[in-house]
A and B are shown apart, each in its own frame.
Chain A
């Protein structure tokens, strides 16, 4: 009787070990793939929805506003700075970081320039009307 209970205990210990290993493997698998297939589906969803939003939002624009709209669209496109900041983030000086910093600088030129230019165009528009 006691033999069986010892065997049972051993078995349950082994099962516990196995389940631990399995969960670690699953974690490693998720880490190595970075949840990537999900991310692609998510990305495609965003892309398609953004196409519709862009189409409907920009469709009925007054011709006089085409230039400022181009200006603000250009300014918003510098949201690439998000990627640039992530690239420039790490402390250690690598080539990747300097690429990131260069991209931060270029995007910053565009952010400030873009919004200021749009503002100037709009103020011109206001005076005329």
Chain B
């Protein structure tokens, strides 16, 4: 990673912080949203100009299709449905994170973390954590969407024998953990 790239990423991180900061006061909220857009644009342009990124055409197609879908849905949706829409969108980020981790596993050299079958342990742990968090984000956001939209009841899910099942699951999990460890 060249110095210029690092500085560009730093600038976009600062813009993201300013964006969140701006969103915490009514007077600066719109400016905050704008900072966020600029930060994201800088991050994308910097990454695309990375020497390892060469398939501009496919990337452009995926980006435009995704962008169109997102914009159209966001513009057309009813005002009252905005919170569940945010939840639904957020589930996509989780799924994207899972895809990125899978991709890094199959082609680690694109991320500069070794070669196939020879990935450093640290990176493998990172990937595992990334996949787990991404998957939890995906399913969690879908449930949040369902609850906000009214598909899923807001009451806690209780069923007969739940505690027994949890106990069994916990016990079985422990057994598996022990098997892995010893």
**Residue ranges of A at the interface with B (Cβ–Cβ < 8 Å):** 32-34, 36-37, 39-40, 53-54, 57-58, 60-62, 64-65, 67-91, 94-97, 99-122, 124-126, 129
Rounded to whole Å, the gap between the CB of A61 and the closest CB of chain B is 4
Chain B residues with CB under 8 Å of A39's CB are 122
Q: Does B55 contact A (CB under 8 A)?
A: yes
Count chain B residues whose beta carbon lies closer than 8 angstroms to a beta carbon of A.
71
Contact A111 B74, CB 8 Å, known A33-B120, A101-B59, A105-B66: no
**Residue ranges of B at the interface with A (Cβ–Cβ < 8 Å):** 12, 16-17, 19-21, 23-26, 29-30, 32-33, 36-37, 39-40, 43-44, 47-48, 50, 52-55, 58-59, 62-71, 73-75, 77, 79, 82-83, 85-86, 89-90, 92-93, 95-97, 99-100, 102-107, 110-114, 120, 122-123
Whether A81 contacts B82 by the Cβ 8 Å rule is no
Whether B110 contacts A87 by the Cβ 8 Å rule is yes
A-B contact pairs, 26 of them (CB 8 A): A34-B113, A57-B24, A65-B29, A67-B83, A71-B86, A72-B19, A76-B16, A76-B40, A77-B93, A81-B44, A86-B53, A89-B55, A90-B55, A97-B107, A99-B99, A100-B100, A103-B96, A104-B59, A108-B62, A108-B64, A108-B65, A108-B67, A109-B70, A112-B66, A112-B70, A114-B89
Contact A82 B122, CB 8 Å, known A72-B23, A125-B26: no
A32 to B114, CA, bound (A): 6
Contact of B93 among A86, A94, A107, A122 (CB under 8 A): A107
A84 to B58, CA, bound (A): 12
Whether B99 contacts A120 by the Cβ 8 Å rule is no
The A contact surface, by secondary structure, is: helix
Contact of B92 among A53, A97, A109 (CB under 8 A): A109
Chain B residues with CB under 8 Å of A95's CB are 106
Name the residue of chain A whose CB is nearest to the CB of B114.
A34
Chain A residues with CB under 8 Å of B79's CB are 120, 124
Chain B residues with CB under 8 Å of A65's CB are 23-26, 29
A32 to B52, CA, bound (A): 18
Whether A117 contacts B33 by the Cβ 8 Å rule is no
Apart from A34-B113, A74-B86, A87-B110, list 18 A-B contacts with CB within 8 A.
A37-B122, A62-B24, A67-B82, A67-B83, A76-B39, A83-B97, A88-B62, A94-B107, A96-B103, A99-B106, A104-B59, A108-B66, A113-B73, A113-B85, A114-B74, A114-B86, A120-B79, A125-B26
